[in-house]
Amino acid sequence: MFVIGATGWIGSAITDAFLQSHHQVIGLARNASAVSALEAKGAVAVQGDMDRYKTWLSVAKQADAIVVASSASLQATVTLLQALIAALQETQKPLVYISGSSLYGDIGAQERVDEDAFVQRLSTPAMNQSPENVVYRAKEHGVHGIVIVGAGILYGRGGGSTPSFLLEEAKKRQVAWYIGEGQQRWSSVHVEDLAHLTVLAVEQMPSYRVFNAVAQALSLHETAEIIAQVTHIRDGAQSISEGEALSVWGSFWARILSRNLWLSSTRAENILGWKPVAPSFKDDLLSNS
């Protein structure tokens, strides 16, 4: 298995999951310390970076599957994926891309939205040159493209952009805010459960090409209460308006934290036999607080 982003937060969890399932892993390493980290856990390291993929593409091509779990720029990621698909053309090998649930867009008041909504969004002009669409359409080139969609609250191992943002904001302002009544519901999942789903998808190569990696659903009011409990902040969890959120958080976080991101894991559970087993969001934060 060739893992791009193998020493990153998500990629390292995927590397570990493959190793625990007795697969040989080759990881792309950007520097000597990354090489040492991969070799220490029993993986094979190939030094290089995404921008100079021609130097390691022949190695990746020989792997049974390729997983892309990097945080590079959009254009760099698309360029790399197109090169990988060209190299794997007509091999039917799996090419897995790790995505995020924000690409579902505004799902309104819908509950437990499934992957069909994601596929419909991929058909829109705005998504034509997205990494997700490039991988989803890889089957046109004889490559088994799979997109794993991580929950909005992706946590564990001390990482995750949403938990990190909420924790840092609470500590800085001594209050854990939520927008309005905080009834927006977001799915959560531990990064190790997402990694296990990735392994299952590669091993089973299902006909479905998009899988949500989601576990427990939390309201953002509940989430703020958990953040307040973990950080022991002075003013606890409190509501703010969308306008106030825009002023203090900026447009990205104010916009996304005003939405629902409640997704369904039924497909992963029924098709792949996936079952989240890692600690809940609350238990994970409390164990590390």
Q: What is the pLDDT of residue 37?
A: 95
Under 8 Å between Cβ of 235 and 174: yes
Which residue from 154, 150, 144, 28 is spatially nearest to 96, judged by alpha carbons?
Answer: 144
Residue 124 is given by DSSP the state S
Q: What does the DSSP assignment read for 72-112?
A: --HHHHHHHHHHHHHHHTTS--EEEEEEEGGGG---TT--S
Give the C-alpha distances (Å, rounded to integers) separating 28 from 3, 25, 121, 266. 6, 10, 31, 32
Q: Give bridge partners of residue 145 from the DSSP assignment.
A: 95
Which tokens is 258 given? 């005003």
Give the C-alpha distances (Å, rounded to integers) separating 156 from 4, 107, 162, 199, 284. 20, 26, 11, 18, 7
Residue 241 is given by DSSP the state -
Q: Is 133 exposed, middle or buried (0-12, 13-18, 19+ CB in 10 A)?
A: buried
In one-letter notation, the amino acid at residue 8 is G
Which tokens is 210 given? 């998009």
Q: What is the pLDDT of residue 289?
A: 53
What is the distance between the terminal CA atoms of the chain, rounded to a whole angstrom? 35
Q: What is the pLDDT of residue 128?
A: 86
In one-letter notation, the amino acid at residue 205 is M
> Which mean pLDDT values do the consecutive 10-residue runs of the chain (289 residues) have?
96 98 96 96 94 93 96 90 97 97 86 92 88 96 98 95 95 97 96 98 96 96 96 95 96 95 96 97 88
